[in-house]
Chains A and B, each alone.
Chain A
């Protein structure tokens, strides 16, 4: 299917566990992004990538790790999940026209 997908859509985990959220896009967009969205904070950028093997920190990178070995995939790993990382996570991609296309989101709960 064309577009941008995220998996899993829902995840419940425990404090201290490692969690990986997956993002896949079929457009070959150069840029990919990870955001978290929390009430009162709006969308906050965690990490972004301008191309394969190029990643950079956003506004709230602490506790997260990303990689981008292939253009189409941009996984986000929480190395040791904390309750404060309970959130809705959105992946997005864009070409050089600036417009961002968002995935459906992953709702993560850390107990």
Chain B
């Protein structure tokens, strides 16, 4: 079992809808959680990070963390075609490690 799991998708949503991307992790002591967006042919770029249980909002993006259930999710409200990309979940292990483990990514398609 990979340490960080994501559904590869593609997840297809209509423009204006809410896209929900999910990620589960196996190391219960994980402390830092990140969402990166990667457009086709480009490098990943950070869009959100979350450290504490609960929700964190940044514009149209909301990251949700539930450490008891070991999952982290990303909600994209009012999805736009420009949000079409692969979304990578990354998790840093416990103990102050700055070495993240990445999931394989979920492909999101927002259709007009």
Contact = CB atoms under 8 A, between A and B. Distances in A.
B103 A98 contact: no
Nearest to B89: A42
Contact of B104 (A42, A94, A105): A42
A102 B44 contact: yes
B43 to A, nearest CB: 4
Contacts of A45: 99
B88 A43 contact: yes
Interface string B95-106: 000111011110
A42 B105 contact: yes
B49 A99 contact: yes
Interface residues of B, number: 19
Interface residues of A, number: 22
Contacts of A35: 102
A31 B98 contact: yes
Contacts of B46: 99-101
Given A40-B104, A42-B103, A48-B99, A99 B44 contact: no
A5 B26 CA distance: 33
Interface of B: 32, 34, 36, 42-46, 49, 88, 90, 92, 98-100, 102-105
Given A40-B104, A102-B43, A105-B42, 9 more contacts: A31-B98, A33-B99, A42-B102, A43-B44, A43-B102, A45-B99, A98-B32, A100-B36, A104-B42
Interface of A: 31, 33, 35, 40-43, 45, 48, 50, 58, 90, 94, 96, 98-105
